[in-house]
Structure formats: structure tokens, C-alpha cells
Amino acid sequence: MPPLPCAELHLHIEGTLEPELIFTLADRNGITLPYADTADLAARYAFTDLQSFLDLYYSNMDVLRTEEDFTDMTRAYLRRAAQAGVRHAEIMMDPQAHLVRGIPLVTCVGGVAAALSTSEADFGVSTSLIAAFLRDRPAAEALTVLRDLIAMEAPIVGIGLDSAEVGYPPSLFAEVYDLARAEGLRCIAHAGEEGPPEYVWEALDVLRVDRLDHGIRCLEDEALVERLIADRVPLTVCPLSNVRLRAVPAIADHPLPEMLARGLNVSVHSDDPAYFGGYLDDNVAALVDAFGLSIDDRARLAANSVRSAFLGGDRRTELLAEVESWRRARHSSPAG
């Protein structure tokens, strides 16, 4: 039985760097890593919170030096994503994290874009690129980087906001999002992962986002839940990530089933799969094991992902038909 077809909408390309590739790129670029081997590196993935993850995440990025490095990283993700059933991926990258290391925009953007330009032919995955800004760096810096991306006509469809959430409310980046919308770019932002429901309100009302990343803490505010339901705001939820970063104690405690039951527009994604224990299919499998999600539940999550994507009508129709075909085939299969 083929995997559930879906769209991956919450994926940080730097978070797909597997230990093996980190060592390969380090060797290529003459970098000495502070790990004995891949097992030593993997053993450091026991995070206590978001910041403990970010410290390792940014450290490992140092192996990305050339356009070829960024292309190889992106192609490795696309290969694995296709195996997981991903048919469309909207990939975030963090240009500031590379600029501060002295890597030019043309190198990091060009390397990722080169892989995305042939993604459908090579892997059967349509793609687009989103520039995500680091909320724990100055908003003025993000604005400068966005202007540079616009000036170089970078092949991005939108912007996002990620990194350490608490203490950095979305409203700090209002000017950045105003410029993005003026340029016709789509807008997303992380909110309500570790940050409070108030951050979700700000993302909606100040940044005027098209889609919210995470949003799991919305359930703490009934008025917010009603707003999200009424407006069908997409929430890109990453269960394994939430558990690994201690935002949720265990998969069995994850709020996704309640969110789905309440009628929120939720879908499942992998966030930083190399660090959090699984790709999109692994996240779905963990939810099925914990909650016994039905075939219809899984198809609904996949359809939500497709409807929430920044896609043209024909491609969206095509992918929704694939989801429905999967649903019918699973219902007719003896294994279910």
C-alpha cells in the first residue's frame, strides 16, 4: 500500500541535516567536528527545551559552506520526503543563520533553489521556498535581509518567523511583514509553541499571517479557538517535535486529536526531522499508535495540508484527488 499523499508545510531545511551528512560535509570542507562519530552526535539529541535544540542546530550548520552543500542537503530531504508520501513541500530556510557565518545569500539561496528547481522531475515532489527570519535577532536585520532577497529576485513565495519564541512576540516584526505583503509574498509565523496564546493573536492581527506554525497552545484561549475555527486558519502541527522539545510531555498527551475534533484546520508535519526522531510519515505513525487515528482522520489531516498549501488550483485538485484515492483504497483493503 503506498504512503498517504500529503503536503509538508512546516519543514526547516537545516533541520534535515542527518549526522551522516554532517560528517560527510565536514570532511568535504576540512572541518573538525567536536563529536567522536555519528553515534556521539546522535546521543546529543536529548533536548530539554527549544533553546537546547537551537544551540546544537546552529552549531551543526557550520558544515554548510558551498552551494553544493546546500543542494546536497536539500536533495537528501526530498528523497526521504518522497518515501514518506510528501507530494508537495514548502521549505523554510534561515538565511540569517548563514549570513552571520559569512555565507552569502546567493550561496545558501542558490544551493537550495537548485535542488527545488528539479524536485518534481527528480522526486515527484513539487516545492516552493520560504525565507524564515530569526525572531531572536533584531527585526531591523530581518528587514534588511528581506530587502536584499527582493533585490536579488530570490525565488521565494513567502516569509516565516522562527527560532526562540518566548520573549520575542510577533509584533516586533510588523514592518517586515508589511513589506512582504506589499511585495506579494505569503506570510507564515511560528506562534503558540512555547509562547502564549497572545502570540497567536499577534500573528493573526499584527502580522496578518496566512498560516500559523505550531499553535498548539491555542486551546488555552476559547475565544482564540473560535476565531481560528471561523477563519479556517491553517495550523501546521509537529507532534514529535513538540515532545522532543518538552512542549508536550508525551505523544499520548498531544493535543492534536482534540484540535481535530474541535474543527481546527490542523495538519501534520516534521519540523526538524533529523533532530526530532522522524519524518512526516513517522509523525503520522506515532499519532496512529497513540490515538488509533482512523483512515478518515489521516485522510482529513492530509487534505488539510493540501488545502493549506500555497498551491495553484490545478495542483491542489490533483493532490486532493490522490488523498481521496488513498482513502478509498485503504477502506477497501483487508488490512485497513
- 3-35: pLDDT as tens digits: 999 999 999 999 999 999 999 999 999 999 999
Query: In angstroms, rounded to a whole number, what is the distance separating the alpha carbons of residues 311 and 128?
Result: 9
The sheet that has 126-134: what strands, in order across it? 6-12, 86-93, 126-134, 158-162, 186-191, 211-214, 234-237, 265-268
Query: In angstroms, rounded to a whole number, what is the distance separating the alpha carbons of residues 309 and 269?
Result: 12
Per-domain boundaries in the chain: 6-332
Pairwise pLDDT comparison (303 vs 313), residue with the higher score: 303
Average pLDDT taken over every residue of the chain: 96
Query: Is the per-residue pLDDT at 335 higher than 80?
Result: no
67 a catalytic residue: no
Q: Please tell me which residue in 8, 90, 193, 202 is annotated as part of the active site.
A: 193
* Domain spanning 6-332, CATH architecture: Alpha-Beta Barrel (3.20)
pLDDT given for residue 334 in this prediction = 72
pLDDT given for residue 313 in this prediction = 86
Query: In angstroms, rounded to a whole number, what is the distance separating the alpha carbons of residues 318 and 169?
Result: 38
Confidence grade of residue 336 (pLDDT, cut at 50, 70, 90):
low
Query: In angstroms, rounded to a whole number, what is the distance separating the alpha carbons of residues 117 and 318?
Result: 20
pLDDT digits (tens, 9 = 90+) for 134-171: 999 999 999 999 999 999 999 999 999 999 999 999 99
pTM, entire model: 0.96
Long-range contacts of 142-147 (CB under 8 A, 24+ apart): 142/96, 142/173, 142/176, 143/175, 143/176, 143/179, 145/95, 145/96, 145/99, 145/105, 146/176, 146/179, 146/180, 147/179
Range from 46-55, 160-169, 175-184, 249-258 carrying the lowest mean pLDDT:
46-55
> How is residue 4 annotated by DSSP?
P
pLDDT given for residue 114 in this prediction = 98
pLDDT given for residue 132 in this prediction = 98
pLDDT given for residue 253 in this prediction = 98
**Angular region, 119: left φ>0, alpha ψ -120 to 50, beta rest:** alpha
Compute the average pLDDT of residues 298-305: 98
